[in-house]
Amino acid sequence: MAKIAFLGLGVMGYPMAGHLQAAGHDVTVYNRTPAKADKWVAQYGGAAASTPKEAAQGAEFVMSCVGNDDDLRAVCTGNDGAFHGMSEGSIFVDHTTVSAKVTHELFATAAAQGIAFVDAPISGGQAGAENGVLSIMCGGDQTAYDTAEPVMQVYSKICRRIGDSGAGQMTKMCNQIAIAGLVQGLSEALHFAEKAGLDGRSVVEVISQGAAGSWQMVNRYETMLDDHFDHGFAVDWMRKDLGICLDTANETGASLPVTALVDQFYKDVQKLGGGRWDTSSLIKRLRALG
């Protein structure tokens, strides 16, 4: 079993760190709000540290799941950042969805210190984290990935190295691009069913078994029909991710017209007060339009 530091105990990181401790690893956690770390220790055991540097000292693996590029830089290279406490030969695994730019930057900084850096964004939402069935898409050196993979398998159903540093983040962008279109399509289908006087549940029971079926349909249609949007990934975070996708598309020359449009639809949801609603709340915008 390994000595592990886990930085960031949000809705994803909290259960992920718990799975590691339950699997027999020696886990030290850090969270910007100490009370959350204390709650985690009371629930799972392990230990809490007051800074990322303290948490990382002596750890073979340091895992992070924080908010954005700036948050990741802070926990890695800030005054009390994890890189200052990590030993040569240790591995930093980042589960945050961030830009490939910051990933390349931190990969280089880590390499200069003899530390490996694996970008490993996740998909599967809060339920996936709680049930230990996340999809993890990774970038970085093969040797570092091979060493870290058994640790990540504790909370994943699939974990795969896609390529060199940044490839994991690029793959997560593909994931978010695909989800944006799927959720909008599902929202329009359910809204159309409502307007046509159809029973939405009966409609989905049939169409989910054919070519229209998707994870979003199976897992979100009931809460969408019930106007209930406190499940999973928040609109504010989705707009952050789609912003990364669109910025990267401008850099690479990719065309993302549907993604750009759905991003603006999520902006409308924010204006409705739905920044913390989950991403399936796109249907709220359609209902608001009449």
Catalytic residues: 172
Q: How many residues does the chain have?
A: 290
Q: What gap in Å lies between CA 34 and CA 9, rounded to an integer?
A: 10
Per-position DSSP letters for 153-208, written without gaps between them = GGGEEEEEEEESTTHHHHHHHHHHHHHHHHHHHHHHHHHHHHHTT--HHHHHHHHT
Q: What gap in Å lies between CA 213 and CA 221, rounded to an integer?
A: 11
Query: Among 154, 153, 155, which residue's Cα sits nearest to residue 128?
Result: 155
Q: 29-38 long-range CB contacts below 8 Å, 24 or more apart?
A: 29/5, 29/55, 30/5, 30/6, 30/54, 30/55, 30/75, 31/7, 32/8, 36/9, 37/9
Give backbone dihedrals phi and psi of 237, rounded to 5 degrees, phi first: -75, -35
Q: What gap in Å lies between CA 177 and CA 82, rounded to an integer?
A: 31
Neighbours of 17 (CB within 10 A): 30
